[in-house]
C-alpha cells in the first residue's frame, strides 16, 4: 500500500507541475530504485525476525516434605544425570522439628520441563512450587548490536592509529582505544552471563522430613526434678543477693522498729 502511494505521488506531482517528460522519466526512475530498496528492507527484517532465536531464562523453586531424605536425594541425582545437568550447591541441616536438604541444579534449557516432571514423581503436594520464564531476547539483541558497533569503532581507531604520525595523535587514539576495549569487554561479559542463564536453567529443590524434638523426648523424670531443685536454689540465691542491695534500708527499718517498741514499753510501765 505504501509502495503504491509513493509511486502515484512521484508520478502525479510532476504532471501537476507542468508535465515535463524529463521530470516524469526521472520520477519513474526514482520509483524503480526506491521500490526494490523497500522490498529488500522488508525481506531483511522478516529474515532477521525468523533467524532470531528467542532467549528465555527459566527458573524454578520447589519445596516439599518427604519421608526418606536419602531416597529423595538419590531420585534427584538420578534425574540430574539423566538430563545432563549438574549440582551447583548442596546444603543440609536441622531446624527445630525437621531435617532438611536444599539442592540447586543447573540444567540445559531444553531439559527443564522433563527434569521437573522427574523430580515431582511421588510428591503428594508441594509446599512451594514456583516456575518463571523471563524473555530476554530484546536485551540480548541490544547487547549484540552495541558490541558490534563498539568493535566497528575500534577498527576505525586502529586504522587511524596506523596512519597517525604525531606522538600526540598516537597517544590520544590509544587512549580512546583503551576506553573502547573496556566497553567491549564489559559488553562481552554481559553477553556471556546472559547466554549462560539462557542455556542453563536454574532449579532449587528444598525437601525436608519432620522429626520429634529430641531434647524433650530424652529428658527423664529425675532430670526434671533436679532441674526444679536447681531452679529453686537459684531463686533463693537471687532473693538474698537482692537483699544485699537494700541492706541499709533494712538496717534503718530494724532501728525504727526497736525504737518504737522501746517507747511503747516505757509508756506501759511508768
Contacts of 233 (CB under 8 A, 6+ apart): none
- pLDDT digits over 176-199, tens only? 999 999 999 999 999 999 999 999
- pLDDT digits over 32-64, tens only? 444 444 444 444 444 444 456 889 999 999 999
Instruction: Yes or no: say if 32 and 3 are a contact pair by the CB < 8 Å rule.
Output: no
Q: Which of 32, 121, 114, 124 is nearest to 80 (CA)?
A: 114
- Residue 64 β-bridge partners: 207
Q: Tell me the torsion sign for CA atoms 186, 188, 189, 191.
A: positive
Residue 46's CB: how many other CB atoms inside 10 A?
10
- pLDDT digits over 219-267, tens only? 566 666 777 766 776 777 776 677 666 667 777 877 778 777 777 776 6
| pLDDT value for 250 | 75
Q: Is the pLDDT of residue 170 over 60?
A: yes
Cα gap 160→156, rounded to integer Å: 6
The answer, as to whether pTM is greater than 0.85, is no
Instruction: Yes or no: say if 208 and 128 are a contact pair by the CB < 8 Å rule.
Output: no
Amino acid at each position: 500500500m505504501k509502495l503504491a502511494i509513493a509511486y502515484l505521488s512521484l508520478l502525479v506531482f510532476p504532471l501537476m507541475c507542468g508535465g515535463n517528460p524529463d521530470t516524469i522519466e526521472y520520477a519513474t526512475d526514482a520509483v524503480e530504485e526506491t521500490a526494490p530498496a523497500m522490498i529488500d528492507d522488508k525481506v531483511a527484517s522478516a529474515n532477521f525476525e525468523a533467524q532470531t532465536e528467542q532467549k528465555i531464562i527459566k527458573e524454578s523453586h520447589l519445596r516439599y516434605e518427604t519421608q526418606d531424605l536419602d531416597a529423595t536425594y538419590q531420585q534427584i541425582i538420578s534425574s540430574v544425570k539423566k538430563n545432563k545437568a549438574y549440582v551447583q550447591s548442596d546444603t543440609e541441616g536441622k531446624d527445630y522439628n525437621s531435617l532438611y536438604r536444599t539442592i540447586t541444579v543447573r540444567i540445559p534449557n531444553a531439559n527443564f520441563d522433563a527434569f521437573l516432571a522427574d523430580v515431582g514423581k511421588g510428591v503428594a503436594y508441594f509446599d512451594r512450587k514456583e516456575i518463571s520464564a523471563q524473555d530476554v531476547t530484546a536485551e540480548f539483541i541490544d547487547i549484540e548490536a552495541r558490541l558490534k558497533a563498539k568493535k566497528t569503532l575500534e577498527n576505525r581507531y586502529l586504522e587511524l592509529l596506523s596512519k597517525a604520525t604525531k606522538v600526540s595523535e598516537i597517544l590520544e587514539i590509544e587512549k580512546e582505544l583503551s576506553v573502547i576495549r573496556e566497553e567491549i569487554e564489559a559488553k562481552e561479559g554481559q553477553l556471556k552471563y546472559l547466554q549462560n542463564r539462557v542455556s542453563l536453567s536454574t532449579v532449587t529443590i528444598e525437601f525436608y522430613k519432620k522429626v520429634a524434638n529430641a531434647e524433650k523426648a530424652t529428658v527423664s523424670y529425675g532430670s526434671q526434678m533436679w532441674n526444679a531443685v536447681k531452679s529453686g536454689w537459684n531463686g533463693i540465691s537471687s532473693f538474698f543477693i537482692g537483699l544485699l542491695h537494700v541492706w541499709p534500708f533494712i538496717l534503718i527499718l530494724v532501728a525504727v522498729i526497736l525504737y518504737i517498741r522501746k517507747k511503747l514499753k516505757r509508756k506501759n510501765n511508768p
